[in-house]
Amino acid sequence: MIILGVLAVLIVPRGILGQTIEEGETPNIRPTVTTPLGQIEGDIGFTVNLHPYIKFEGVPYAKPPVGELRFEEPQDVEPWVGTWEAKTITQCMTYDHFTKDHLNNYLVQGDEDCLYVNIYTHSISAEANLDVLVHIHGGAFMFGKGANYGPDIIMERDIVYVNFNYRLGALGFLSTEDDVLPGNLGLRDQIKALQWIKENIHYFGGNPNSVTIHGLSAGGASVHLHYLMPQSKGLFKNGISQSGCALNPWVLVENIGEKTAKIANLVGCPAGNSKETKECLKSKPAKQIVESVKEFQPFLYNPFSPLGVVVDGQWAKNPLLSDHPYNLLKQGKVLDLPWIISYTSAEGLYPAAEFWSEDQHLIDIDTKWNDIMPFVLHYNDSVDPELRDQVSQEIRKEYLGEKPVNRETYSALVDAVGDRLFVADTETCARLQNAATTSNIYSYKFNYRGATSKSTKLANTDSSINIGVCHADDTIYVCSFKGLDTQSTESDRKMSELFKNMFESFMLSGEPNITLWKPLSKSLDEFCHLKINSPDDLEMEYLPEIGQRSFWDNLPFNENHQFAKIVVREEL
């Protein structure tokens, strides 16, 4: 603490804490705000360039969802007595994709008591009125935490940055397909967090009427879903979805009732009566429930999203999604707000980077293609079982021809995975949203491989090995990620500046500050996006389609445009 105090004296500028710092005076390094909930004490953090900011980590936005509140909608947090010390990072309990034990088994990490926001600001004056960026973390609705993507880069800008946790996996997305346990609790947590931010962010120097929501992967899909959920209206003014949107095949989960019943049986609960199932599940150890998801992942961590979002309009009294997102977009039932949607040039490195880590993984995929790929590409439950092998072979022929799966053909495998899981539906989402709204919709393709990449962690390789521009490689230039240094070269620092400026401009005006970048046309048939090759090489591309969308659209998946229209019960 002595070192921190010295640094603060040296570099905290006048007024950054919402107070005037006189020359020679030691600034308060335990900043405190007073809210209707009580006093909250924070701390000081430093950006990548050692500029200070104020941080409040671990502020509750809802009651702990434990005991009788497990599998219930998030409840308003109650005021506390005394001062809440907001200095602890938390994580919701997950079956962790990236942590293994000595037997190479994935581990359960985190806690049930996890509904907290982390707030980073340059002022604790209620009059500061700073633009607010809220990050919704990714992780396939199965793993991750808000703090994974930190403030140390974006807080170079004069904004408020917020991230938060929401319930994941079995604790956040089980459903008995009725109003007893309707599902989407993780999304309800997100809405509760956004409501809390709307009501309280001005105490932390933020403008509650200037909130931009931003997310990666499942976070990006969540951002898009908030455009489709009436409960989110008025909680944000712009959105940025990186590598994820509502129509990606892993977002909506199939057969959730069957999966919930199986998990109940695995932990020793009955599955015939929804109320009995729910009450029994409340009594079981959370770790046991969370860990049971491995029963749905036969190949490594695939499918990476066996539990997720459901169209609860089929059974819930107060649904978040009254209909399938495709139908909502076609019907124009979407918030008319500016939106950025993006993808990277090698999206399929999530999850395919892990396949690179061992030759045996590629051998297994090559020799057991029909068995493995329906899980990797998320169509095991959305294709008629009698057609599944045929569909698998059509995909293989389209991307690999007659070639085997190995390191020489690995890039083709990555293309197949990326196109299916992310890229093709990025175009569909953008086109439908563009047709349904008057607001500008912007798209970009990130094609820059810097000194580091998310793929180095996923594939367990050295950063000098370039297997492509990975899923999330753009996000790390605006949100700091532990172990990935995007500030080590001049080119990477320039890329980070480009993204910081882009975000800052879009947060303020709903328009990115890149003059070259044009929104999707309301009249032209071509799909357009900004292709980011390097900080100094940006170009507009106009294409008939991306991600071989027509090929994927013509396969017999019971999804999106081929999904039978959902009939909501008349009594709801």
* Residue 253 CB contacts under 8 Å (≥ 6 apart), including other chains: 173, 259, 305, 306, 307, 308, 309, 310
Vertex 28: Cα angle to 27 and 30 (nearest 5): 150
DSSP 459-495: HT--TT-----BTTTTGGGTSBBTTB-SSSSHHHHHH
For residue 113, the tally of other CB atoms under 10 A from its CB is: 15
Q: % helix / strand / coil in the chain, to the nearest 5?
A: 35, 20, 45
Burial (CB count <10 Å: 0-12, 13-18, 19+), residue 491: middle
Task: For residues 11 and 20, give the distance between their C-alpha atoms in angstroms, rounded to a whole number.
Answer: 14
Closest CA to 120 of 160, 61, 163: 160
Paired with 214 in beta bridges are 135, 240
Residues 216, 223 contacting (CB under 8 angstroms): no
Answer positive or negative: Cα dihedral of 91, 94, 97, 101: positive
Task: For residues 449 and 257, give the distance between their C-alpha atoms in angstroms, rounded to a whole number.
Answer: 42
Write out the catalytic residue numbers.
217, 347, 471
CA-based radius of gyration for the chain: 23
* Residue 201 CB contacts under 8 Å (≥ 6 apart), including other chains: 119, 132, 160, 162, 207, 208, 211
Task: For residues 32 and 39, give the distance between their C-alpha atoms in angstroms, rounded to a whole number.
Answer: 7
Q: Which residue has the tokens 């000098």?
A: 464
**Could you tell me the end-to-end alpha-carbon distance of the chain, in angstroms, rounded to an integer?**
57
Tell me how far CA of residue 62 lies from CA of 67, 76, 189, 310, 396, in angstroms.
Answer: 14, 5, 8, 23, 47
Task: For residues 149 and 147, give the distance between their C-alpha atoms in angstroms, rounded to a whole number.
Answer: 5
Cα 473–chain centre separation:
14
Paired with 545 in beta bridges are none
